[in-house]
Structure 1
Amino acid sequence: MLYSPSENRYSFYNKALSEQEASPYSTFKIVSALMGLHNDIITDETSTMNYNGTEYPNPEWNGNLTFQEAFQTSCIWYFRQIIDAVGEDEAEKELSELEYGNCDISKWEGSNINPYQELNGFWLNASLKISPLEQVAVLSKIFEGKSIYDRQDIEILKKVMLTQDNGTQQIYGKTGSGSDGEAWFVGFIETAEQRRYFAVYLNDVSQEEQISGSTAKEIALKILE
């Protein structure tokens, strides 16, 4: 999906799949980060969450992490702490305001896809679902200033989302990876003239070894070039 608000134009490959809801996986960190900033749980890119000492398979998660480090390493326990601090009522309210997919947080603790409790959540192959079309709508609502989130918090989020900058255009985004051949890369491309929002979603269980958020990101960057 590619959406240009200034032209009110959508472009897509595979229209049926673009309207099909799926788990957002770690692309949900965009919204959980905003919830954390909005509710003063984190204040800027240096905000640290305390590591509990568990030796995780991903060594980058083994320590006290800043918001920027946690976002860029896609650290689940960090954002689990944010979501738990936000709480169910506030999370549901903010998701409804954003019209974030099905807004279903009923599996708050997740579906046990990971062996550690703090590495599970409703956004990881559980109750929350969103389509590529809804992803670009939510991103546009946030970054075009049409949500409850203030400009300062959005600018902090943009800092950690920056993926590529060639001087004339910047690409901001977040990957997401499932275990059954599902992957995402969502975000926006910004120039002096406009922003365009994108969502790349992959789903092919026959190629699950090759498909990841990094694969989706590579595809997106080639398209955006």
Structure 2
Amino acid sequence: MRMRLILFAVLLLQACAATANRQPSTTERADWGRHFQAAGVEGTMVLMKEGSGRMQVYNPARARTQYLPASTFKVLNSLIALETGVSAGPDTIFPWDGKEHPLPAWNRDLTMREAFAVSSVPVYQGIARAIGQERMARYVDAVKYGNADIGGGLDTFWLEGNLRISAVEQIDFLRRLYEEHLPFFKRSMDTVKDIMAQDRGAGWVIRSKTGWAGFYPKHTSGGPDIGWWVGWLERKGEVWFFALNIDLKGAEQAKARKDVVLAVLGAEGLLP
């Protein structure tokens, strides 16, 4: 335990040194509004080319507004699980709890890779409980993930608790993961990057995670749900980080999360 804490401190210092004084400039892209309008949704999107030091942003005020991360937190949750030994790797099996959950894909034993792909809330709630309050708080704070507040329940703080993160902060977190400037061992970061590869085409891959704050558990605030898609595109030796969140007024709008991002990437000449 002592050695693990020492290594954690070393990794944390290295991560802090690597990210100091790196504040990107911002260019507003009001023209991207047409893609949101075509999908019938309101929201924001941030796009940043690796190494450019410049973010392109639609709706800058909203881009800096913090929301529940919902299942986008599975990226960090996976890193912490691997680092703490709760998961030995992508093929670690997490048994079904025997309860009937709203998505049939959740109602069976799942490997970590499978649980990430189908966004299994029950599996990742179990992972959070196994990590424990103290270790979870330490890592979330060390990463400086959004407001780093895990109040509201160890297995619900990212779903309906106190944790909040903005689209701009999502970009910062993703960039640090890609560049391996987070307080985790390389093998943990490489594993998470691998399971994030959800969409592929000729000469490109998108590593990403969706999120839907309000889907499970279903909130009753009366306001819109928040839909996320965050990740990065690798193509032709370039890396483009993206983070989108939108208001979701019904299940039929869920596909707009990817539709808007893909429309922007296509219009920018980054995807066919």
TM-score greater than 0.5 by the shorter chain: yes
Q: How does 1:55-134 map to 2 (within 5 A)?
A: 55-109=100-154, 121-134=156-169
Q: Which runs of 5+ in 1 are unaligned?
A: 110-119
1:2 touches 1:11 (CA, 8 Å); kept in 2? yes
Aligned length: 212
SS at match of 2:240: strand
Partner of 2:234: 190
SS at match of 1:34: helix
Return the letter of the residue paired with 2:245.
Y
Q: CA RMSD in A?
A: 1.5
Q: How does 1:172-191 map to 2 (within 5 A)?
A: 172-179=207-214, 180-191=224-235
Partner of 2:257: 216
Partner of 1:116: none
SS at match of 1:54: coil
Return the letter of the residue paired with 2:231.
G
1:182 touches 1:208 (CA, 8 Å); kept in 2? no
1:182 touches 1:211 (CA, 8 Å); kept in 2? no
Q: Which runs of 5+ in 2 are unaligned?
A: 1-45, 215-223, 267-272
**How many angstroms apart in 2 are the aligned matches of 1:82 and 1:222?**
35
**How many angstroms apart in 1 are the aligned matches of 2:102 and 2:122?**
13
- Alpha-carbon offset, residue 184 of structure 1: 0.2
**How many angstroms apart in 2 are the aligned matches of 1:40 and 1:215?**
36
**How many angstroms apart in 1 are the aligned matches of 2:150 and 2:234?**
32
Partner of 1:6: 51
**How many angstroms apart in 2 are the aligned matches of 1:26 and 1:61?**
14
The alignment's TM-score, normalised by the length of structure 2, stands at 0.74
The alignment's TM-score, normalised by the length of structure 1, stands at 0.88
- Alpha-carbon offset, residue 209 of structure 1: 4.1
Return the letter of the residue paired with 2:170.
Q
- Alpha-carbon offset, residue 186 of structure 1: 0.3
Return the letter of the residue paired with 1:208.
G
**How many angstroms apart in 2 are the aligned matches of 1:138 and 1:70?**
21
Partner of 1:32: 77
**How many angstroms apart in 1 are the aligned matches of 2:166 and 2:86?**
28
SS at match of 1:202: strand
- Alpha-carbon offset, residue 53 of structure 1: 0.9
Which of 1 and 2 has greater Rg? 2
Higher mean C-alpha displacement, 153-162 vs 129-138: 153-162
